Structure 1
């Protein structure tokens, strides 16, 4: 055993708890933060971004530990490879790490009070999700908690780099509402585990077919309209329209849990794409909004 072995172990445990959620937390937060960087000197960009990472890390770790400590029964069904059901970490070990992550998270906001509203919002959101019955209902779980959680993530990601602006706040509100409306997609793949622990997700309340119809023909158009009202669609109109159409098509396929998981991951890629569009505007890059014939992506970014 080397001196660094405990560090490697903790890093491995952190990845085990959190890797599934990087595409909805650390990665999109970093992408959105790029839009706040123009005009800052390079040393400030580096320092501020490292500070942001120091906030994002306990942001996601605190949530994952809270969610997985209270959701062991579900994870044994849906995600048995996670650290607790796989036996890599005991419940008591996870609780100790939870206390450390929460203390670090709050400590950072005390050090930088400008992030205190976002920090408090996220702590309350996690408590709502993990400790209340409303947090297990489709409306509370996604429409409420995912909206407030996304607001905390994006607002802090910008403010860690530079002061918020009216435009950045508009983008934060729009993307947060967009996420809250369609994050129900994640529940299409987890029906068995959610049913076992008594959750009332959209598929369990309205049925698999009914929930897919609601998401595709009601919530997805509403979410796209929110992006339109938030002045985001204009940044890449064709690309954003086509990705949402493809997402709608995938939702209606009902190809099984594995297919639905890939659909959820596609949703997270759209999330990152939307934020990349806002950052491209901040960098004065022109997004023509075209789709390459070789696949989804930007073509003609100058």
Structure 2
């Protein structure tokens, strides 16, 4: 990974810029996943203790480190795509961001170790390896369609399992099934993010789905994948009625993303090309509370 630092003067504190670079909206959904994993286990008889809180802080630091490294590795693509994130605009230096990322990762592992929960520590180590492998190394996972899917699904599932481990165990089968579906949702519908980034990804040498297959074929693959996942959620709900609510929300979101993807032309403004991705994010924020309601009600 080649790092080029061009730093401009800015009135904002460096800490605020670093936080903005980690993509707060994404950090929020990772926190939601962690706490959903923990609360599902707690509702089933798990124990709330310091491990849950320490684990949540450690997980936040870990995901922040992952996204800082990703921001550095994405500099070429982000600048080509006109990204307004601090690194791409030259408001913070790449070398400094990498140093902060290492510090955050170390602090994260320390906090998870202090919980005394081996399963949580193993989840954190796996997440760190997967997250950093997505962006750095001789063959970053982000440079292939399969690698991106593995990193997306794996990161989501590990986050749910980390929360569950911190609370003292694994949830029942129906909720594990929903966790897996939501992880697959990240891999399938999350690919919509790349629809608006094709030019920058090509410039950076990334072989994303739109780059490999072309825009039109990519939208069809995303739509087909979403509809297949939506159908699977109906089957899961039929098998385990207790997860009917989150399954229906996920199914509805899958249909919306599929329709938007099929209606998204490559020549539209970038904001409109990103509509399927925004629908993907909204669905994530809707399904997780629905999952909690199914546990608590």
TM-score (norm 1): 0.80
- 1:179 corresponds to 2:186: yes
Distance in 1 (alpha carbons) for counterparts of 2:71 and 2:250: 33
Q: Which residue of 2 aligns with 1:164?
A: 170
Q: Which residue of 1 aligns with 2:275?
A: 262
User: In the alignment, what sits opposite 1:241?
Assistant: 251
For 1:222-233, list aligned pairs within 5 A. Answer: 222-231=228-237
Contact 1:182 1:223 in 2 (8 A): no
Show structure 1 runs of 5+ residues with no match. 1-6, 286-302
Question: 1:73, CA displacement in angstroms?
Answer: 1.0
In 2 relative to 1, CA 158–15 (structure 1 residues): closer, same or farther, beyond 3 Å?
A: farther
Partners of 1:101 and 1:48 in 2: how far apart? 18
- Deviation by residue 1:165-200 (Cα, 9 ceiling, x = unmatched): 233433322321232222211111111111110111
After superposition, give the CA deviation of every residue in 1:137-191 in whole Å (9 maximum; x if it has no partner).
111112x111111111111123223421233433322321232222211111111
Q: Secondary structure at the match of 2:43?
A: coil
User: How many residues align structurally?
Assistant: 274
Greater Cα offset, 57-66 or 108-117: 108-117
- Matched residue, 2:68: 65
* TM-fit CA distance, 1:238: 5.0
The answer to whether the 8 Å contact 1:151/1:172 transfers is yes
Q: For residues 294 and 70 of structure 2, what CA distance do their matches in structure 1 show?
A: 35
* Distance (Å, rounded) in 1 between the aligned partners of 2:13 and 2:55: 22
Cα distance change, pair 121–206 in 1 and its aligned pair in 2 (3 A) = same
Please state if 1:282 is matched with 2:287.
no
Q: Distance in 1 between matches of 2:25 and 2:199?
A: 19
| Equivalent position to 1:94, from 89, 92, 97 | 97
Which deviations, in whole Å up to 9, do the C-alpha atoms of 1:193-250 show, x marking residues without a partner?
Answer: 1111011111111110111111112x11222244345447623565443332222111
Note the aligned Cα RMSD (angstroms): 2.7
Task: Provide closer, same or farther for how the CA distance between residues 57 and 162 of structure 1 changes in structure 2, counting only shifts above 3 A.
Answer: same
Are residue 107 (structure 1) and residue 110 (structure 2) matched?
yes
Secondary structure of the corresponding residue to residue 41 of structure 2: coil
Rounded to whole Å, the distance in 2 between the matches of 1:134 and 1:236 is 30
Q: 8 Å contact 1:33–1:279 — kept in the other structure?
A: no
Matched, 1:272 2:285: yes
Distance 1:226 1:24, change over 3 A: farther
